[in-house]
Amino acid sequence: MKNVLLILLTALVFTGCKQSDKEKSSGKKDKETVSAENTITKDGIGNLKIGMTKTDLEKMLKTTLSMKHAKDTGEIWMDTATVQYAGMEVELYFQKLYSEEPSTEMELFGLSTKSPLCKTATGIGVGDDRNAVLAAYEENPITMGPESVMVNDTTWALSKTNYAIHVSDDKWDKQISFYLINKKIASMEAGMQMGE
């Protein structure tokens, strides 16, 4: 009886080793489990959601947001702030909240990060390539191409190193954008889709 148990145990160990070797040799990387706070979707990153007001964000983050253009004279319609959230640096993009009553309230319309901690639900993040994005979102409307860069004061040209992929859904209201440098994702952005 001891010999039979020993043979079964040995067989299980060899089977486990063989399976592990198959996974390693297949070249497929295991997708890391991404926490909800570090997951980017077209709606935002974690609890930072498109459409939240600056006041709501300050309450949630328990901090006062330092807006980059707050001291500018004149009326400010758009502004940005940088925050630490879930171990990541996140850039927040605000626009003035439109209402019939005069208001100074700002609304979140986009956010971006360069942090490798941030991933999509399928595990795509900084360092991945264009093919990973295209495979994950093959059912979605996608626009992509080289970014325009300013050559001098009057001339623009298509970049040889910077590339953008914008992924929408059937509502066409929000999107996830992937910005690549030298064929690798350098930053990701969620936000409202801007009209043509």
Percentage of the chain lying above the pLDDT 90 cut: 61
Q: Compare 112 and 16 and report the one with higher pLDDT.
A: 112
Q: What percent of the chain has pLDDT over 70?
A: 74
Question: Whole-angstrom Cα distance, residue 124 to residue 131?
Answer: 11
pLDDT band per the 50, 70, 90 thresholds, residue 51 = very high
Rounded CA separation 147/160 (Å) = 8
Average pLDDT, the chain: 83
Statement: residue 25 has pLDDT above 50:
no
Position 20 pLDDT exceeds 80: no
The token pair at 50 is: 């498109």
Alpha carbon distance 66, 103 (integer Å): 18
Q: If you average pLDDT over residues 60-75, what whole number do you get?
A: 79
Residue 35 confidence (pLDDT): 84
93 and 109 in contact (C-beta within 8 Å)? yes
**Residues contacting 31, CB < 8 A, separation 6+:** 122, 123
Task: Report how far residue 151's alpha carbon sits from residue 106's, in angstroms, rounded to the nearest whole number.
Answer: 34
Give the distance, in angstroms, between the CA of residue 44 and the centroid of all CA atoms in the same chain.
8
Query: What average pLDDT does the segment 184-189 reach?
Result: 98
More confident site: 102 or 149: 149
Residue 30: is its pLDDT beyond 50?
Answer: no
Q: 85 or 194: which carries more pLDDT confidence?
A: 85
91: pLDDT strictly greater than 80 = yes
Most confident of 81-90, 169-178, 187-196: 81-90
Report pLDDT for 153: 86
Identify the residue whose tokens are 């807006």: 67
